[in-house]
Amino acid sequence: MTREKILITGASSGLGEGMARQFAARGRSLALAARRLDRLETLAGELSGQAKQVAVASLDVTDTEAVPMVFDSLAGELGGLDRVIVNAGLGKGAKIGTGKAHANIETVQTNLIGALAQAEAALKIFREQNHGHLVLISSMSAVRGLPKAQCAYSASKAGVSALGQGLQAEFAGSPITISVILPGYIETDINRGVKTSMMSDTDSGVRAMVAAIEAEKRRAAVPAWPWAPLSVALKLLPDAISAKLV
């Protein structure tokens, strides 16, 4: 099935912007949401010659009352939604217990509470129309908790993955499908400063994400190399070894 009408949150930069560009190149209709409306409007102008339609809206996903209103409004502009990509995320963080709890709490509120609010809004639309594809952008850090400043971030993404697994069980065999995408290190603002030989460039990483989304995979570590085998290894390896990988 081709999902023609796609909503992407966190679309003003990074992975969200990259996915918007790739889906636009495929001639899809796009609904783009993010906090920075000016950047969305600039992006919409760039995509207007490729995408069938582009609608934009300002949205802070931590404003849980605004999320369903924005989703409904964008769905109205596109005449429905076939796919919602829950991508908006935050990478702030600090070592827990060092007096910077606000950074960790903000990250969890955006990445997990915000994702839940988006899933609620998307699935209300999908239930009413009896079809749809919900895509939750998690992270490889959900597989095995990261230490120090990444601890709260990985915990928030583990929650996103668990949310997806529960929804997959609920909607099994129905016209509503759920995908959980776990990107590894892909070059974006969130990963700026991370020193690793496993960093993928933005274009390659986004292409892998879009391919997994189009295939409507239940769970996909992307790019597949090296993250698919690592996603298995991180679950099984002893702590002393896995700690060196994360």
- Where in the sequence numbering do the catalytic residues fall? 153
Q: Is 69 helix (H, G, I), strand (E, B) or coil?
A: helix
Ramachandran category for residue 226: left, alpha or beta (phi over 0 → left; psi -120 to 50 → alpha)? alpha
| Structure tokens belonging to residue 162 | 């668990």
* Contact by Cβ (8 Å): 16, 87: yes
Q: Is 245 helix (H, G, I), strand (E, B) or coil?
A: helix
Q: Side-chain half-sphere of 177: how many Cα atoms within 13 Å?
A: 13
Rg of the chain over Cα atoms, rounded to whole angstroms, equals: 17
Distance CA 92, CA 98 (A): 14
The answer to whether the beta carbons of residues 33 and 57 sit under 8 Å apart is yes
Phi, psi values for residue 27, rounded to 5°:
80, 25
CA dist., res. 61 & res. 73, Å (int): 15
Gap between the Cα atoms of 66 and 56, Å rounded: 14
DSSP 193-244: T---TTPBPHHHHHHHHHHHHHTT-SEEEESHHHHHHHHHHHHHS-HHHHHH
